[in-house]
Structure 1
Amino acid sequence: MAKDFKKIADTIVEAVGGEENVSYLNHCTTRLRFVLKDDSIPNDDDVANIDGVLQVLRSGGQYQVVIGNDVEHVFNEIHIKNDPGAQSSTQAESTTKEPIISRIFGFVAASMSPLMPAMLGGGMIKVIMTLLTTFGLINPSDSTAVILAAAGDVFFYFLPVFLAISASQYLGNNPYITMIVAGLLIHPNLVGLFAEGNTTFFGLPVTAVTYSSSVLPILLMVPIMYYLERFADKVSPTVLKSFMKPMIVIFIAIPIALVAVGPIGSILGNYLSMGVNYLYSQAGWLTITLLSIFMPFIVMTGMHWALVPIATISLAELGYDSILIITMFAYNVAIGAATLAVAFKNKDKNVKSEAVASGISAVVAGVTEPALYGVAMKSRQVLYAGMIGAGASGLYAGIVHLAAYSMGTSPSALSLLQMIGGEGNANFINGVVALVIAIVVGFVASFILYKPEEK
């Protein structure tokens, strides 16, 4: 029977306090992400028991309703006019009691998650380009190859602009004003000035930094511009506000971005990447193993989105990522395999159907929430089996230094295509071995540990 997405949507909105209690709503690949005016209204158990809802989470000032693969269908049935101004006020109130680290991660996660479809789409274009050139189907110098390469690079090159939009929408800034500052960071004329050296702005030194594909500079600027907009609104006369307010914001933001925040953000990003890669170089096998094992708990909090900048920085600086994509690859496949084992052992047709659909979704598409919340959290043996499989696969990946050379689909079996690169075929072969380990160990461990409930 086809799901009634409108009924699911209406029930969820009513359960969170109705449209009047929602100041902002967006979604990622599996979750509805609400910012509520009064987050004490919804009863988590009641919302979690709604047909079509897998789990409810509160993180980073957001009320997250996990739907799974059908999230976009449900989202499209919810007709709520987002009010960024109300959201920003609500956000400030709802996060004041949270630890600063939680608030920061919540901001980064909320800024990155809406961009995932574009990121994954661009990444897959790069994967297709790699396949076409690797197998000699097109010449890398042909115009077709150049166009495909450009299409695959667009998202990553203009990442500061994309982040300006999503982060501004989250905080309540005017996204178009923020985009001007983000666009300035990668403007060809500015890049040309940096190449000449000794760049200044009204006598202030401007550090030459490459901002394309950067994450932290614009994420640091958006909160600053939030307060700049409030300041400009207060000092601008009403009759002149339409042009004076944005002019003041942009004029003040330029030196802040180019002289202070931009270079600091770039330096922090580089040190973050260097720090993570240092840990990886010193004990790569241990780093990848532990991250793979504990990835389900990271996913539960929604903080896996906040780790995406580490992967984008690694891809931009090193040309590959050996940490986030690899650990999520190991976990996603292993939890999917562990879920599929449930279908083999359980005789209940409904459980079988759910386990098969959830398992395939995790292994093939990298969407693990249905497997995690629909199956594994109901039977901890399945969760433990997935962690065992992920750990075994992560251990092997860490030992052989498995790497992904592009950001493609949500890490899954298809991510093997991202592992084509480096010298020879060794990396791709190691990827196949890591995939087999995750599937076999995850499935076998679950088959042994899982005990179907007797009725």
Structure 2
Amino acid sequence: MDYKELAEKIFIRIGGQENISHLAHCATRLRITLANNVKIDKEDIKNLKGVLGVVESGGQLQIILGQHVSHIYSEIDKMLSPNDVKTERKTSNKTTKKSIVSTVLDTITGIFTPVLSAITGAAMVKVLLILLTLSELVKKDSDIYITLTFISDTAFFFLPIMLAYSAAQKFKMNPYVAMTLGGVLMHPALTQLKATKGSLAFLGIDIPLISYGSTVIPIILVIWLASYVERLADRISPSSLVFFLKPFLTVLIMAPLALTLIAPLGVYFGSGLGFAINYINSNFTWLLPVIFGIFSPIFIMTGMHYAVTIPLVITSIATYGFDMAGAGFLMANIAQGAAALAVARLAVDRDFKSMANAAGFTGLLGITEPALYGVNLKFRKPFYAVMISGGIAGLYVGFFGVKRLALAPTGLTTLPIFVDPENSINFVHAIIGLCISFVMSYSLTTLFMRKTDIKV
């Protein structure tokens, strides 16, 4: 694939530099916020060779490129002026107004997507540590164990500071001032006072001694409010003093407000979400795996998969050390890959057979967009087979309470995230579940489809 050529074609069709307010990418999608999306021909973009699909969700144009996305992103980024797209510009009056739901989904996705790589990297270190411990290659009292433990915990513990940066970019605030506010919540003095059962007050107002490590909601609320305070400080500061007066007022006002009111409220809200998750996991272990086993492809199609799942999963893992939704995602991903492989076996056209095989194997590894858009959704029947198989396999893993112990994409290469040192059968049930998903999806697709159905 000629990445530069495809990037140029996409660049032209989305209106060039003047029409790009913000450019980013995740594992498989180019995510573009446009200044004016009225005249964009999505079908024209979708028909480009190398483009798997185009979705408009949460105010973003999402161009699905599969594993090639980082290369295309780099090529488009080279076409942009250095200072033009790093922060979102004011959009044209012709831009379609976003609904409240779209705005919320776009905000959640924009905040959490940039930190996923750090969380995933740390999570895989934790998985490695579990495997080394179970195989008795590393003892729990060894220096290696201690070192790998704090390495694997770092991304989760300092999550508020990372989220402060990405939230600041979304709320159009100075990211370094935002990180300072995140650092205030993480200051060791708070942890020490909490450990010694001390007390703290500011101007007579008690500061709740709460550990904010690994929390997500408090810092998002703090930065959202701080963005308004910063804009107010900018307006009231004389131009000759704005350089230091704006950050001074922002920190002086927001830090005490965060410690005394906003962040504690966020913790209580997060505790409520955690309680709801725990109630579902304790009383309806099958529910989340079935929901995500069935509807994961639809969440991906609508671009809602990050917005719907990441806050839920991070809250669950940070609070309880595991999440139940991951098993459902694994079942859905395996079903997606299996269906594409079944279509590949039936296909006559050699180029399409090769593409479907590649998409199928990629799906088994956890990247499902090539299989979803390039194969299964195209013929519909494999798509239905995927949802049926993902749901039934999700019911199996849900019935046995299969847990994911780290946040990482779910596929064959990341199966160790289901290794539970306290419950060895957890991994066995995950393997049985994915076998059910694969066999069912492959068989149903073969049953539903005929060679004459595959017209490319």
Which amino acid letter does the alignment assign opposite residue 138 of structure 1? V
Q: Does the Cα contact within 8 Å between 2:122 and 2:155 map onto a contact in 1?
A: yes
Q: CA deviation at 1:289?
A: 1.2
Residue identity matched to 1:66:
I
- The aligned counterpart of 1:62 is 60
2:76 is the counterpart of 1:74: no
Query: Structure 1 residue 115: deviation in Å?
Result: 1.8
Greater mean deviation of Cα atoms: 255-264 or 244-253: 255-264
Matched, 1:32 2:30: yes
Q: Distance in 2 between matches of 1:99 and 1:209?
A: 35
What residue in structure 2 maps to residue 389 of structure 1? 389
| CA apart distance, 1:312 | 1.3
Segment drifting more, 338-347 vs 114-123: 114-123
Q: How does 1:293-304 map to 2 (within 5 A)?
A: 293-304=294-305
Is residue 2:108 matched to residue 1:100?
no
Output the CA distance in 2 between the equivalents of 1:199 and 1:166: 30
> Pairwise mapping of residues 147-296 of structure 1 onto structure 2 (< 5 A)?
147-195=147-195, 196-296=197-297
Alpha-carbon offset, residue 331 of structure 1: 0.8
Q: 1:138 to 1:355 in 2, by over 3 A?
A: same
Measure how far apart 1:353 and its partner are: 1.0
Taking a change above 3 Å as real, the CA distance of residues 450 and 443 of structure 1, as seen in their structure-2 partners, is: same
Structure 1 residue 233, shift from structure 2 partner: 0.6
Aligned-partner SS, 2:111: helix
Moved more, 130-139 or 412-421: 412-421
The 1:271–1:381 alpha-carbon spacing in structure 2 relative to 1, beyond 3 Å, is: same
Matches within 5 A, 1:401-412: 401-408=401-408, 410-412=409-411
> Normalization by structure 1: what TM-score?
0.94
Q: In the alignment, residue 257 of structure 1 is paired with which amino acid?
A: A
Partner residue of 1:352? 353
Segment of structure 1 superposing worse, 20-29 or 279-288: 279-288
3-state DSSP of counterpart to 1:33? strand
Structure 2 Cα separation of the partners of residues 275 and 239 of structure 1: 51
> Following the alignment from structure 2 to structure 1, what is the Cα–Cα distance between the partners of residues 397 and 388?
14
User: Partner letter of residue 320 of structure 1?
Assistant: F
Name 1:331's counterpart in structure 2.
332
Counting aligned pairs with the same residue, the percent is 36
What residue is the counterpart of 1:118 in the other structure?
Answer: 118
Cα drift, residue 328 of structure 1 = 1.1
TM-superposed deviation, 1:199: 2.1
SS in 2 for 1:89: coil
Q: Does the 8 Å contact 1:133/1:140 carry over to 2? A: yes
What one-letter code is carried by the residue in structure 2 that aligns with 1:5?
A: Y
Check whether the contact 2:36–2:92 (CA below 8 A) recurs between aligned residues.
Answer: no
Can you list the C-alpha shifts for 1:356-388, whole angstroms capped at 9, x where unaligned? 111111112x11111111111101011111111
Q: Flag structure 1 segments of 5+ consecutive residues without an equivalent.
A: none
TM-aligned CA distance change 1:372 to 1:82, over 3 Å: farther
Closer, same or farther in 2 for the Cα pair 1:86/1:5, shift >3 Å? same
Larger CA deviation: 413-422 vs 425-434: 413-422
**Which residue number in structure 1 is paired with residue 9 of structure 2?**
11
One-letter amino acid of the structure 2 residue matched with residue 309 of structure 1: P
Change over 3 Å in CA distance of 1:219–1:83 after alignment to 2: farther
- Mapped to 2, the partners of 1:424 and 1:63 lie a distance apart of 43
Partner secondary structure for residue 378 of structure 1: helix
For 1:429, give the aligned amino acid: V
* Whole-angstrom distance in 2 between the partners of 1:108 and 1:23: 18
State the alpha-carbon separation in 2 of the partners of residues 421 and 86 from structure 1.
Answer: 42
* 1:432 paired residue number: 431
CA distance in 2, matches of 1:255, 1:84: 33
SS of the residue corresponding to residue 24 of structure 1 reads: strand
Query: Do 1:87 and 1:171's aligned partners in 2 also have CA atoms closer than 8 Å?
Result: no
Q: In the superposition, relative to structure 1, how do residues 311 and 169 fare at CA in structure 2: closer, same or farther (>3 Å)? A: same
Relative to 1, partners in 2 of residues 1:191 and 1:330: Cα closer, same or farther, differing over 3 Å?
A: same
Q: CA, structure 1 residues 120+86, in 2 after alignment: closer, same or farther (shift >3 Å)?
A: closer
Shift of 1:92: 11
* Secondary structure, counterpart of 1:377 in structure 2: helix
Shift in Å, 1:89: 3.3
* CA separation of 1:82 and 1:334: change in aligned 2, threshold 3 A: farther
- Cα separation, partners in 2 of 1:221 and 1:125, compared to 1, 3 Å: same
Structure 2 letter corresponding to 1:246: P
Q: Which shows bigger deviation, 86-95 or 332-341? A: 86-95
Instruction: Spell out, residue by residue over 1:124-149, the C-alpha distance to the aligned partner (whole angstroms, 9 max, x if none).
Output: 11111111111011222222222222
Instruction: Select the residue among 42, 45, 48 that pairs with 1:47.
Output: 45
Distance of aligned partners of 1:149 and 1:139 in 2 relative to their CA distance in 1, 3 Å threshold: same
Secondary structure of 2:147's counterpart equals helix
Q: Deviations over 1:83-113 (max 9, x none)?
A: 5796263399957x33323311221111111
Give the counterpart letter for 1:319 in structure 2.
G
Q: Distance in 1 between matches of 2:297 and 2:140?
A: 40
- Looking at structure 2, the residues matched to 62 and 436 of structure 1 have their Cα atoms a distance apart, in angstroms, of 36
- Distance in 1 between the 2:441 and 2:406 partners? 26
Q: 1:91 to 1:406 in 2, by over 3 A?
A: farther
Query: 1:222: how far off?
Result: 2.2
Give the equivalent residue in structure 2 for 1:368: 368
1:207 CA displacement = 1.8
Q: Call closer, same or farther: CA 1:253–1:91 in 2, change over 3 Å.
A: farther
CA RMSD of aligned residues (A): 1.9
Partner of 1:313: 315
- Is the CA contact 2:53–2:63 (under 8 Å) kept in the aligned structure 1? yes
Distance 1:85 1:154 in 2: 27
Aligned partners of 1:35 and 1:90 also within 8 Å: no
